[in-house]
Amino acid sequence: MGDVPKRCAPSVPTVHLPVYGFHLMSAGSDPSASLRRMRFSCGPGLMSRALQTVPNGTLFELHTRLIDFTNSVGDLCSPNDVLNALHAVSTASLPLNVLGATRLPVKATNLGSAQLGKSAFLHGGVPAGWWDEYLTLAKSNFAPAIFLARSSLASFTWTETSKMLEPIGVDRWSVELGLKYGMRDGLTYAVGGRWVVGFWSRRELSQILTHPARVIICAAASLAALRLEQLTGPDATRIGSRPRLTPREVAVLRMVSMGRESSAIAQALGLGAETVRSHLKKAQAKLGAHNRTQAACEAMRQNLIP
């Protein structure tokens, strides 16, 4: 075990693994070559301490698989190959299956537009039928795991997400859907604000997935996302459509978001009350909103107003 840190090679592109995350660093003009040359640079004593705290060589096996994955990921020629190789890492000593990876759309509300084989990729071991139901429900419901993936660089298990957000009623749909297909828990990890990589398990992960093991799994997920980005190339549909609001419509919506009534907005902008209402109706139509409140919220989601 004492020989593991000697694998570090500071003279080539490195992956630094601090306690709760890591930074991917590549150099050179050829990304694939960089991946093939990549090695690991561990934080002070992290790997040696981690190997001593986990029984039965669990972490040692994970670390070994991660090194193998790093050395071979640049040669993988299809998204399926990447996910299969990642699955070999995550299942080496943990009951953690690869779910898949998806490229996050710019607009949070465009998640339902993900296309298999283009912006979303599923591992072959995912229960049949889960993806179709998930995609249908995600179009009109709040997806807690994706929300955290968009707003945080940390990884979260599904159980941790539920405890943090305490979803009720319809907001529990993703948990209930997972249980329907035998997916008791999972892990979601965002990579660079562009990709989210998911894992699933038939067991609760809170007592199984230790922090050191999670660091290694997330390192492998980051490498997988990098290779998927290289294989898939640019995706113009990720940006989606953007409504063209006039400056006055933007000004009116901004004041609605501040809680102003139509009469107060009219007075502040020097417009007639009927003109304000007209701007609001046009903005609602452009944003696909049912009322002024939804229009203001949607404008904020799309960064149309501060």
The per-residue pLDDT for range 87-113, each reduced to its tens digit, is: 999 998 899 999 999 998 776 556 666
Q: What is the pLDDT of residue 241?
A: 66
Q: What is the pLDDT of residue 257?
A: 92
Where do the CATH 1.10.10.10 domains begin and end in the chain? 247-301
d(CA 109, CA 92): 36
CATH superfamily for domain 4-238: Transcription factor LuxR-like, autoinducer-binding domain (3.30.450.80)
Q: What is the pLDDT of residue 113?
A: 66
Where do the CATH 3.30.450.80 domains begin and end in the chain? 4-238
pLDDT single digits (tens) 28-54: 334 444 444 444 444 444 444 444 444
**The domain defined by 247-301 carries CATH number 1.10.10.10:** yes
Are the C-beta atoms of residues 247 and 256 closer than 8 Å to each other? no
Two structure tokens written together for 105: 């759309």
* pLDDT bucket at 301, cuts 50 / 70 / 90: confident
* CA R_g for the chain: 23
Query: Helix 211-232 crosses helix 46-53 at what angle (to 10 degrees)?
Result: 120
The answer on pLDDT for 179 being more than 80 is yes
Scan for tokens 């990890």, then name that residue: 189
**Which amino acid, 290?**
H
Contacts of 29 (CB under 8 A, 6+ apart): none
Contacts of 294 (CB under 8 A, 6+ apart): 284, 287
Is the whole model's pTM more than 0.75, yes or no? no
Strand, helix or coil at 210?
Answer: coil
Number of other residues whose CB lies within 10 A of the CB of residue 288 = 11
The answer on pLDDT for 75 being more than 80 is yes
Residues composing the chain: 306
